[in-house]
Structure formats: C-alpha cells, structure tokens
Chains A and B, each alone.
Chain A
Amino acid sequence: MVANGDMASGHGGCGRHQCCTVERWLRCLLGVQLLFALLCAAPSVIAADAVDVTAVVGFSDTFQLGRWTPLNVTVTNHRSDLSGELEVQVTGGDELRGRLFVTSHRRKLELHRDSRKSLQFTVFPQELSHPLVIRVHSSGQEVARTQVDMRTRFAAERLLLVLSRDADLDYLNEGGADGLRVLYPHPELLPVHWRGYDAVAAVVVHGVSLERLSTSQFEALHKWIAQGGILAVSGGPNYALLRSPRLAALLPSQPLGMTRIDGDALQSAFSTTLDVSRPVHVNRLGALRGRALLHAGAVPLIVERTLGYGRVVYLTFDVTSYPFDRWDGMRELWLNSLRLPPPTTDALSGPEAEIESPLPALVQAESADFPSIAAVLFFLILYLGLLLAGYQLPVHGKRSRWLTPLWSWAAPVLFAPAAWLLFGPSVFPRGATAVAMAVIEPLPGSIYARLALDLGVYANRSGALRLEYRGAEPVLSPPRQAQIDGDAGDWVFGEGARRFLEPMDQRRYVLHALQGEDVIVFQVEASVHRGTTGPRLVLDNASGRILEDVWLVFDGYAYELGSIPGAGRFERTLSRRAHGVEVGEASWRRVLKLTPGIPDLMSAPTRIVLERRARAASESGYPGPGHALLIGYTANPLRPAGASAAWPRRERALVAFEVAALQGEAAAGESATGVLARGDGILGRTDTPRVRDSAARAAAEQDE
C-alpha cells in the first residue's frame, strides 16, 4: 500500500509535473498568440495615428459651388520621416449630363518625424454629393486618407472677406444669390493663386498689414484686383500700417498723418443721421492717384483708384470706431463705396451654344500629317520589285554565287530600317505633341494681362502623357463644352520641381483638351486718338516680347501695323484711305491674316478665339463702341519644360488689347509718357512710370 501509496504519490508527482509542463506550454502558446495579435494589430494602430490630415475648404471653411476656391491641407506626421505625395481628388461634372470626372491635384510631400506642413491647392468644386478626397501616398501605399463633406460648407452668397482683428461688418450679411456672406479669414490662409478669389466680391482690410502675406499670396491678391477685384482699406490712427510697402503700392494715396474734422462737416458729407457730437480724426492724404468719391470740405474721406479692371477704395476713417460703429447708414455707405458688380455666372452656367475649340484648327494648320499613300506605294513597288528581281535573275558562275544569300537577306535587312527612318522619325515622329492657343489681354493701367488658354496634348502612341510646363501657372479644367456634353476626362495636375498635367486616358490619337486662366506680367500700354483722317496710335511695349503681325481695328477699318519690338514706344498716325481696310462689325476677324500668301487655314484658330471673345462680349460688342482693338501675335507664355521640353508644339499666342479711344489728335509729346502715375505693381519697381488708364484719367480730369 505504502509502495502503492508511494507509487501513487510518485504518480501524483509525475502527474503534477506533466500538468505543470502542459500549463507552461499553454502559457507559452498564449504568450505567442498575444504577441502575434499585437504584431498584427500594431501596424494598423500605429498607421491609424501616424499621419493626420486636416483640411479647410474656401475661407473659414466656406466656399461657393462652381467657383475656384482655395483648399488648405495640413498634414501632421507622427511616424518616421515621410516622403511621398499628397493628393486631392475633386469630383466634377453633372451626373445628369453624362459621366463624372475626377481631377487629382498632386504635390510632393516630405515631412520629418513629428512635423507638420500646410499646403494650399486651388480647386473647382462643382457638386456636393461627392466629398473631396485627400490622400497621402508613400512608397506606393496609402498612409492617410480623409474625406471632406462639401454639403455642410457651401454658401450661395458671394463672399466678403474682412482682414481684421476686431472689425465687425456682419451688418453686410444678406441672404440669397445676390447677397453677401461676411467672413473673417486668417490672413495666412488667403489664396496663393488669384483664382482662389473667384467667389469673393470684395476684400476689406482693417488694421492689418499685408506684409504678413507671403509673396505668392500678395501677388494673388494683386492679380485678382487687376482683373476686376475690389479691395477696400479702412484708415485709422494706426496709419503706419498703410504706409507699409505693399499697401502703399496699392492705395490711391498715402496717409501722411491725421486731421480733425468737425461733426457738421462729417454730417454734410455722410448724412445727418450720423450721430457726431465731437470732432473725428481721419487720415490726411498725400498725392492722390485716383479720385475722391467723398470729401468733407478739402479733406478726402473716401478715395479710389483703378488697377487694371479692379479698384482700390480707401476710407480715410476707422470704420469700426466712433461715430461709424453705431451708424445705421454704414451698410449703405459700404455698398455705395464698393459698387459691387452683379454676380457673374459660374463656369458651367450661361448660354449653352456650341463652343468651338481652336485646338483642332490649330492642329490642322500646323500638324505634320500622315505620310502620303503615294510615298508608301512607291516604297512598296521598289521593295517588292527588288525582291522579285533578286529571285528571278539567275546568278551565273561560282564567283557570283555568294550574292544569292546576300540578295535574299540584304533586301529586307536594308529596307526595314529604311522604312522606319523614312516614314517614322523623318516624316511622322512618334510621341506626344502639345497644342496651345493663348489669348493675352493686357489689363489697362496695370503691369498684368489676362491669359486665356486652350491647352491640349495628344500622342500617336499609347501610354502616359505627362506635360511638364513653365512660364505660367494657370488654373486648368476640362473645356466647358466637354463638361456640357458629359465627356470630360479625368486629369492629374501636379506641382513639384515642375508643374505638370496628365490625362488619365492613355489612348493614342485622342486630343485631351483643357481650358485655363491666369494673370501674367505683360506690360503694354496704348492709346488711340481719333483723328479726322484716321487714328493715331501710341503704344508702349514693355512686355519684353515682340508683337508680330499687329493689326489695329477701329471705327470700321482695320490697319496692318507689322511687327513691334519687345521694348520701346511705337507711334503712328494712320490714314483710313492709305492704310485702312474697310471692315464690318464682325467681318474684320476674317481680314486678319498672318502673312500674305499663307493659306486661310492658318488664321482659323485666331478667328475662332476672336469670335468666341466677341460672343462673350455680345452686348457691348468687340471692340466695344468708342474702343479700338489691337491684335498681334507673340511668344506663348506657357512652355513645355523638363522631360516635355522636346515635345513638338503647335501653338499660337494672340495679344488682344481693347483700348478706349480718345477724342482729338494726341498732343505733341503725349504718348506713353503722357500723364504719369506711380506703378501699381512690382515692388521695387514702383518708380517705373505708367500710363494711366484713359478712362481713369478722364474721370480724374472730370473731378478736377
């Protein structure tokens, strides 16, 4: 028993030992399983928090549908150094019209561990049902993704941006499509491209320096004003801000100090409803580059200047201080001062007439065509004839026997590369071609010009078609007609070392077209004086680009002017009889041609863009009444670069400058250096004399 008991105890010990072993094994197994689960879960947990993406659409997260808008994306990297790409996908098009299309904006992204970077895109949101998709890729993998719901962020009203720390202009808010939505964006989040202001009716600056903006932000603001934007600046005791270089370059006058105005003078200037019990201090101004809209005695209260098609309004008093902070008439005063133009239609609205693209005409005019069938026939006859002769001709004698194998193989071996060279690289090279039709419209009284682009790429082989370019930074979108027809394709637009665009459709023999807009530096000033026998033209070309085949269309006549050098002044008195060709209101566009002897085909793209422009200005006419139009050709500002620099190009850049005609002969010596105004533009070049817009000058003279 004892033995048994011992045995039993021995068995018991053995059993316990086995139990311990099993238990140990189970624990080990559990540990391994836990470790395995951790290893599996860890990457996803780490990845989930590794890269954060946040986005602000438009201004203060508010945008208008169908308008270009800025998109600020902030990427925070919590993991190891990140080198990849940030992509924003915007869905456009109309599901009812046809297929939707996706536009991808891509930027290179390099972020160190625990660092953050903000990048701004200019996007064109067209519909609310699809969110904006923002993705971060690295090494071919998606490391972060976020979607921005557009439905909660859009506004129907035009936007009024107030750059201020403490101003409250909420009384300007008004609902409806014609109304206004007042927003107070952070100056650092203002657009870096002028098109980002598409939905903005006006910008108000109060107590904030524009020196806080980056160079590209200030340039964008300046360009936006030049092509029709309105900037309003409120004065006040802190007028030193207004003397900072950027604001000084834009304002119609510089504040020199403060001056006191008594209540009665203010009431007579504004309204008797303005409650003024004590004198008010306003900015005292120096030389005026514009006109005074309102003044109290000799003291200007609201002054204005034009910049291109836009205006800068300077209110010499503090709009948020006594007595204006409590005045009910402020809303009306603002609206009267800003004189906001009626809202324009967005890109896809408006008449649905067929919009012809100049690109096919340009391809037809300048493209290398397929080798002719006659050349192919000749080649085939030669080749087959030689083969036949080789097989038919008997080879006599042992000495000539070596010719037989040579004959059999030499003909194809020689003709194959010959076929490739003759019909390939020499006549019809394989590869991609860039097609661009640019219309440059100088903005009067500005160093800038509006650039409208029709851009296309096609290839005679399949594959990726990435066009790298430089010289202009247009916002690009599929052509309006393609969007109306519902056959707009998907595109990628990228920025990095070079800007690029790439259609997602890689088929050959498909012309992938885009439309673009930009404002570029292109300084041309002109004045046309109506004379008894004909006009007198004074043109100051400071663009640095030669204008070729220039025509002047004025008063029912077209005048051929030839070439104008890239720098300098051009003056000519034209006679209707000697130089003019009588033309109709629309037929003048057919008169223009490049050079005598060049077929009509060559001028077709020009005609198309001019007719399109005339259709856009249907009511006012093109050129409008009392206006002259200068037409010429110059170098295309947008040029293929980098890997695309060697692409064949079919391009044309048309300069179309509409100038208000002045009555009477030009005074002696009055020309481009006539009435001078300080520059509107490039800082550091503010001493460059500029000719003021004739309309502004007339207005100024009227005021005087």
Chain B
Amino acid sequence: MRSNPLVKEALVGLTAGGKAQLDYLGLLLLQAVVLLVWWPKSGVTQALASQHGPNTLVAVVMAVGVSTAYVALRAGAEEFVLPGQHGLRDWALATPLALGRVVRGYLLGQFVHSLHLLALSAPLVLVAFTVSGGEWVALGWCVAALLVQALFYRLCGALTHLSIGQHHGETLFTVRTILLVIYVPVGVLAPVTSHPAFTYRALSEHLAAQPALLGVPDRVVFLTIYAALSVLAALAVYCLLVRERRVTTDRHDGARVGEGVTS
C-alpha cells in the first residue's frame, strides 16, 4: 500500500498542518456543538421515566457522517489538497503511472484520509457512546457505512472536478448540490440509501424494540449500494482519465509525458 505514491503523498500530507486540517477542525467544532446540544440535560431517573435514553451518539455519528462526506466531496473536487499533495489530473497526465494504479492509489489515499478524520472525531464519538448505550457492533457498522459513503462522495467530487473542474463557481455549486440532494431528497425518498437513517436504525433504542429492523440485510444493502455506486464512479473516473490522457498524448505525441514529474 505504501509503495503507491498517491498513498504515500496522502500519508505525508495528513501529518502536516495546513488549511485542510484547519477546515476539518471547524467541522470538529461543529460536531462538538452537536455533542453538547444532544448531551442529556436531565438525569437517569427522567430518562427511565420517559423510557428514552439520550440520542447523543446518533446525533454525533450523523454529524461525523455529514462532515466526512462534505470533506470527501471537497477533496475530490480538489477545493483543497493536503500539503504537498498533487491533483488526480496531475498524476494521470504528468506521470507515466498506469491509470489503474493511479485510481487504486487515489482510493486508498481517500481511505487513509477518512480514517484520519475518524480518528480526530473518535474522542467525541466515544464520549457520546458512554451515555447513549449503543452497541460496539452497531457502531462498527456505522463507521463502515461512513467510510464507504465518504469514498463514494470523494469519487463524485473527482468526477465533478474532471468534468467541470475548470469552472470554479460551477464546481463549488455542484459539489454542494450533490451533498444536499443525496442527503435530503434521496435520503427521504429512499431511506435505505440515507446514512442518517442508517445510523438511526443502528444506534437508536428503536433497534431493540423492533429487532427485525436491525437485521444484517438492512446494513448490507446500504453498503452494497454505496460500494456499487463507488465502483461505477471509479470506472467513470478511470474512463475520464483515460480520455484525458489520450487527448494529452495525441496533443503532445506522448513524447513529453512524465517530464513534469521526472524533472
């Protein structure tokens, strides 16, 4: 994994300070606010009287899900890059690396990036976990869903970048529209594709009351849908990169490909 230059670049970039980290710090602040707002204000007795435990964990995991999706989209659209990190187009056009390797490295790099964001959010999630009473297994499923979802959004961002990346304003608008559309109307119309709905089903107390809803198929469907969409998006990214490389090769007769990187 570390032999892939894109992964290496992501690892190095994550350990350096920069705008990307500060941006995510802002999102961490947002997650902290969510944690405080949803923190139980009344005591255990009141929770027992109402027969409803705190929904702190559900709220925080939802917030982490939105944050990572948003960061992944923006990173995919290359609104920001990690310190020392190159764009996808640069890797495809300015290096002789096989495109398959580039895409693989890109996906792995995204995975490492999401893991880092999760690690940053972990203390908040664990604080919420202590009072909310969710199960480790259910939390694991939510984290897996979050990672797969982030991958999909990263690729959506990459597609946007490769398609209309030269138009900054449109890219900015498209990226946010994708997030909004998939999160709100699609999530409402097809709850099985919604990460908030997935989180709610997995972590809220609703699960114990209706164990049938908790079934593994429900979780697998979400992961399968997003994995399948990610594969399609990765294929689309690959095709776009192939086309771009061919166009560039045609334009320069392929003579000077890789000079940028080797120099």
Contact B133 A460 (CB under 8 A): yes
State how many residues of chain B have any CB contact under 8 Å with chain A: 46
Q: Give chain B residues whose Cβ lies under 8 Å from the Cβ of A364.
A: 43, 45
Central interface residue in B17, B22, B25, B211, by most chain A CB within 10 Å: B17
Contact B123 A415 (CB under 8 A): yes
Q: Give chain B residues whose Cβ lies under 8 Å from the Cβ of A416.
A: 119, 122-123, 126
Given A404-B17, A412-B123, A416-B123: A377 and B36 interface contact (C-beta under 8 Å): yes
Chain-B contact segment, one of A37-45, A500-508, A541-549, A671-679: A500-508
B167 touches A (CB below 8 Å)? no
Contact B51 A509 (CB under 8 A): yes
- Rounded to whole angstroms, the CA-CA distance of A461 and B36 in the bound complex is 20
Per-position contact with A for B124-163: 1 when CB-CB < 8 Å, else 0?
Answer: 1011011101110000000000000000000000000000
- Rounded to whole angstroms, the CA-CA distance of A411 and B122 in the bound complex is 11
B209 touches A (CB below 8 Å)? yes
Q: Give chain B residues whose Cβ lies under 8 Å from the Cβ of A507.
A: 51, 205, 208-209
A54 touches B (CB below 8 Å)? no
Given A388-B25, A412-B120, A412-B123: A404 and B209 interface contact (C-beta under 8 Å): no
B54: nearest residue on chain A (CB-CB)?
A370
Contact B25 A387 (CB under 8 A): yes
Given A376-B36, A408-B14, A509-B53: A370 and B44 interface contact (C-beta under 8 Å): yes
Central interface residue in B41, B49, B120, by most chain A CB within 10 Å: B120
A432 CB to closest chain B CB (Å) equals: 11
Chain A: number of interface residues, binned into ranges: 35 or more
B176 touches A (CB below 8 Å)? no
A369 touches B (CB below 8 Å)? yes
Specify which of B21, B36, B126, B208 is in contact with A463 (CB 8 Å cutoff).
B208
Contact B49 A384 (CB under 8 A): no
Given A391-B22, A412-B123: A380 and B133 interface contact (C-beta under 8 Å): no
Given A390-B17, A430-B133: A384 and B29 interface contact (C-beta under 8 Å): yes
Contact A367 B44 (CB under 8 A): yes
B45 CB to closest chain A CB (Å) equals: 4
B48: nearest residue on chain A (CB-CB)?
A511
Specify which of A411, A412, A506 is in contact with B208 (CB 8 Å cutoff).
A506
Q: Give chain B residues whose Cβ lies under 8 Å from the Cβ of A391.
A: 17-18, 21-22, 25
- Rounded to whole angstroms, the CA-CA distance of A463 and B121 in the bound complex is 26
Given A384-B25, A416-B119, A423-B127: A373 and B53 interface contact (C-beta under 8 Å): no
A259 touches B (CB below 8 Å)? no
Per-position contact with B for A6-17: 1 when CB-CB < 8 Å, else 0?
Answer: 000000000000
- Rounded to whole angstroms, the CA-CA distance of A459 and B131 in the bound complex is 11
Contact B123 A367 (CB under 8 A): no
Q: Give chain B residues whose Cβ lies under 8 Å from the Cβ of A505.
A: 208-209
Per-position contact with A for B9-40: 1 when CB-CB < 8 Å, else 0?
Answer: 00000111110011001001100100110011
Central interface residue in A377, A392, A412, A458, by most chain B CB within 10 Å: A412
Contact B135 A463 (CB under 8 A): yes
Interface residues of A in 318-372 (CB under 8 A from B): 360, 363-364, 367-371
Contact B133 A462 (CB under 8 A): yes
B47 touches A (CB below 8 Å)? yes
Specify which of A370, A404, A509 is in contact with B16 (CB 8 Å cutoff).
A404
Specify which of A377, A409, A506, A509 is in contact with B119 (CB 8 Å cutoff).
A409
Contact A369 B43 (CB under 8 A): yes
B168 touches A (CB below 8 Å)? no
Q: Give chain B residues whose Cβ lies under 8 Å from the Cβ of A409.
A: 15, 116, 119
- Rounded to whole angstroms, the CA-CA distance of A380 and B211 in the bound complex is 34
B51: nearest residue on chain A (CB-CB)?
A510
Label chain B's interface by main secondary structure.
helix
Q: Give chain A residues whose Cβ lies under 8 Å from the Cβ of B172.
A: none
Central interface residue in B28, B29, B48, by most chain A CB within 10 Å: B48
B2 touches A (CB below 8 Å)? no
B179 touches A (CB below 8 Å)? no
Given A373-B39, A415-B123: A508 and B131 interface contact (C-beta under 8 Å): no
B42: nearest residue on chain A (CB-CB)?
A370
B246 touches A (CB below 8 Å)? no
A413 touches B (CB below 8 Å)? yes
B52 touches A (CB below 8 Å)? yes
B207 touches A (CB below 8 Å)? yes
A379 touches B (CB below 8 Å)? yes
A25 touches B (CB below 8 Å)? no
A379: nearest residue on chain B (CB-CB)?
B127
A605 CB to closest chain B CB (Å) equals: 12
A428 touches B (CB below 8 Å)? yes
- Rounded to whole angstroms, the CA-CA distance of A377 and B44 in the bound complex is 20
B138: nearest residue on chain A (CB-CB)?
A462
- Rounded to whole angstroms, the CA-CA distance of A409 and B18 in the bound complex is 15
- Rounded to whole angstroms, the CA-CA distance of A431 and B131 in the bound complex is 11
Interface residues of A in 413-456 (CB under 8 A from B): 413, 415-416, 418-420, 423-424, 427-428, 430
- Rounded to whole angstroms, the CA-CA distance of A458 and B18 in the bound complex is 47
- Rounded to whole angstroms, the CA-CA distance of A254 and B21 in the bound complex is 93
Q: Give chain A residues whose Cβ lies under 8 Å from the Cβ of B207.
A: 462
Given A370-B54, A409-B119: A363 and B44 interface contact (C-beta under 8 Å): yes
Specify which of A367, A460, A462 is in contact with B45 (CB 8 Å cutoff).
A367
A429: nearest residue on chain B (CB-CB)?
B130
Q: Give chain B residues whose Cβ lies under 8 Å from the Cβ of A392.
A: 17
Q: Give chain B residues whose Cβ lies under 8 Å from the Cβ of A380.
A: 32, 35-36, 124
Central interface residue in B41, B126, B209, B211, by most chain A CB within 10 Å: B126
- Rounded to whole angstroms, the CA-CA distance of A416 and B51 in the bound complex is 29
A383 touches B (CB below 8 Å)? yes
Central interface residue in A404, A458, A508, by most chain B CB within 10 Å: A508
Interface residues of A in 194-217 (CB under 8 A from B): none
- Rounded to whole angstroms, the CA-CA distance of A416 and B126 in the bound complex is 7
Q: Give chain A residues whose Cβ lies under 8 Å from the Cβ of B17.
A: 390-392, 404, 408
Q: Give chain A residues whose Cβ lies under 8 Å from the Cβ of B47.
A: 509
Contact A376 B35 (CB under 8 A): yes
Interface residues of A in 649-694 (CB under 8 A from B): none
Q: Give chain B residues whose Cβ lies under 8 Å from the Cβ of A411.
A: 120
- Rounded to whole angstroms, the CA-CA distance of A387 and B117 in the bound complex is 12
A405 touches B (CB below 8 Å)? yes
Q: Give chain A residues whose Cβ lies under 8 Å from the Cβ of B116.
A: 408-409
A and B contact pairs by CB, cutoff 8 A, 14 listed: A360-B48, A363-B44, A363-B48, A380-B35, A380-B36, A387-B120, A392-B17, A411-B120, A418-B123, A419-B124, A423-B130, A427-B130, A462-B208, A508-B53
Chain B residues engaging chain A, CB cutoff 8 angstroms: 14-18, 21-22, 25, 28-29, 32, 35-36, 39-41, 43-45, 47-49, 51-54, 116, 119-124, 126-127, 129-131, 133-135, 205, 207-209, 211
> Lowest 7 A-B CB distances belong to which pairs?
A405-B15, A509-B53, A462-B208, A415-B123, A461-B133, A416-B122, A508-B133
Sample of 5 further A-B pairs with CB below 8 A, known A384-B29, A408-B14, A507-B205? A387-B28, A408-B15, A408-B116, A418-B123, A462-B135
